[in-house]
Amino acid sequence: MKPPSSSKQLSEQASAVLRMRIIDGVLDPGALIAESAAAQELGVSRVPVREALFALERDGLVEFSGSGRAYVKKLSQHDFEELYALRLALEPLGSALAAPGLKADSSALERNIRATRRAKTIQEVTRLDLDFHELILEASGNSRLLKLWSSLRGELELWLGQLHRRHQANRLDTRNGTAAAHEEILMGFKSASTDGCRQLMRRHIQAWREWLPLAGENEA
């Protein structure tokens, strides 16, 4: 019998592998994740895989059927609308709260943008995109606001990963477009008023609204 720390580590490792496959699109929305097959592939027992699936369910990446089978979550148009509405409520407020601190020191955002410009894969762009927004929420100093946003991150990453892949398939420059949009926000933190930062983030989130039908096409 493995000690608790080893069991937890195996579960975390299984969760990390499955999360990556879901976010990267290796496992399609609606795909069945069979415990036995996943356990055999990962070289672990079914227990760590089951625990990993429960963790991924909490993150909004997996859902269970009535019979207990696990599937990659398939976000609907309604899900996209709800995520958009919540981002629109949380992030402009977070930007206003973060504005004084980021005006004094925006080095973390600058490093993120440089990393985005160097990103080699769409998956990196997706992660760095959300990291950028999370850095702003962290700088807000409001732990409850950050906690609310963090509870959405799994589904946001699932959504954004799909959108970025579709965007790239249409031969649009996702990496540089993301970096350019974030540079505009960065310049706002350096020069704009608190309310200006709020409005800039609001416009940034609203620009995503036109992507919702694009995402919905994937789920039709």
Count: domains in the chain: 2
Q: Which tens digit of pLDDT belongs to each residue from 68-96?
A: 999 999 888 888 889 999 999 999 999 99
For the chain, the straight-line distance linking the first and the last C-alpha, in angstroms and rounded, comes to 46
Structure tokens belonging to residue 109: 């955002």
Which residue range is the domain that position 144 belongs to?
A: 77-219
The pLDDT tens digits of the residues spanning 140-155 come to 999 999 999 999 999 9
Q: What is the mean pLDDT of residues 20-27?
A: 89
- In this structure, are 42 and 86 located in the same domain? no
3-state secondary structure of 40: helix
83 with 55, same domain: the answer is: no
Same domain? 196 vs 125: yes
- 147: domain CATH number? 1.20.120.530
Q: What is the mean pLDDT of residues 158-165?
A: 84
At 26, the amino acid letter reads: V
Q: Give the CA count within 13 Å in the CB-facing half-sphere of 205.
A: 24
- The model's pTM is 0.85
Tally the C-alpha atoms within 13 A of residue 202's C-alpha that lie toward its C-beta. Answer: 10
Indicate if 153 and 103 belong to the same structural domain.
Answer: yes
| Residue 40, both tokens | 């055999």
